[in-house]
Amino acid sequence: MEPVMPIDDDQVNVEEVEIRLLLEAIYQLYGYDFRSYSRASMRRRIMHRLTMSGFSTIMEMTDRVLRDRQFFVTLLNDLTVNVTEMYRDPEFYRAFREEVIPVLKTFPFIKIWHAGCSTGEEIYSMAILLEEEGLYERAMIYATDIDKNVLATAKKGIYSIEAVKQYADNYRRAGGRNSLSDYFTARYDSVIMEQRLKRNIVFADHDLATDQVFGEMHVILCRNVLIYFDRALQERVIRLFSDSLDMGGFLCLGTKESLRFSGHDEAFDVVNKPLRIFRKRQFQHHA
């Protein structure tokens, strides 16, 4: 048996410094700010790329990042988790339909911000839901992400037919009124989302870590994005959301995300606890 090389706390501390330097290099050179992301999951993804690309240290990888834009794009794809699906957590969309839509129906127009929309599957899910509820005409959906590459995919609205087959079940469980196939056209082994669903969607790149308020939204969806942020950045982003929402506006988070540790939970009422639907309080009480 090979002797086991111990990894003591000093070595872990060295890696911590290397990670900080790598993230600083990425920020300074490419403008993506991962410095306040949850360290545990950043470290796992950096180590994954390190192993896959055969570097012996993080510093060695940083050197490559500084000189090779193509390699940076590969790493960026590892660092931004772009896992999504249509009607992800179908019960959330069902609750949205039952508990949020009736309120939105009383509004003359509806502004929805989907922060961290990734490759767009959930944007089209929402567009379809709004159309089925007769609200699409009055709605404007702002779809943002930090990563321009995934936004380009989102804008195209082209997905593999295999994936979409699996989404049909989600759609049904989410309370879909028709058939998901009513909303796309199949070509060979991919589908393209119907053009009419894109009319009221605006795609834009936006970095929650550095960019500013998006004004007077009625709904903000940001699901499974905050889990990648550290607590300080979560606080900043929840404040940003609170400032971007109209009084009575809805905030929808991922099913493991919480306002409990953000220091802003008093700014929101709970609409649906397990599915993480919150509503900005009408009247703020100042302590």
Interacting residue ranges for other proteins, rule: CB under 8 A: 1-2, 4-9, 12, 16, 38-41, 43-45, 47, 81, 83, 224, 226-228, 230-231, 234, 254-258, 260-261
Count Cα atoms within 13 angstroms, Cβ side, for 34: 28
Beta pairing partners, 270? 278
b/e per residue, 159-196, with b = 16+ CB within 10 A? beeeebeebeebbeebbbeeebeebbeeeeeebebbee
Closest separation in Å from C-beta 258 to other proteins: 4
**Which residue's CB is nearer to other proteins, number 213 or number 270?**
270
Q: Which of 160, 167, 158, 164 is nearest to 198 (CA)?
A: 158
**Which residue's CB is nearer to other proteins, number 2 or number 195?**
2
Closest separation in Å from C-beta 148 to other proteins: 21
C-beta neighbour count of 252 within 10 angstroms: 23
**Which residue's CB is nearer to other proteins, number 91 or number 211?**
91
Beta pairing partners, 272? 277
**Which residue's CB is nearer to other proteins, number 9 or number 189?**
9
Closest separation in Å from C-beta 90 to other proteins: 9
**Which residue's CB is nearer to other proteins, number 43 or number 239?**
43
Closest separation in Å from C-beta 215 to other proteins: 27
C-beta neighbour count of 11 within 10 angstroms: 11
Closest separation in Å from C-beta 140 to other proteins: 28
Q: Are 254 and 223 within 8 A, CB to CB?
A: yes
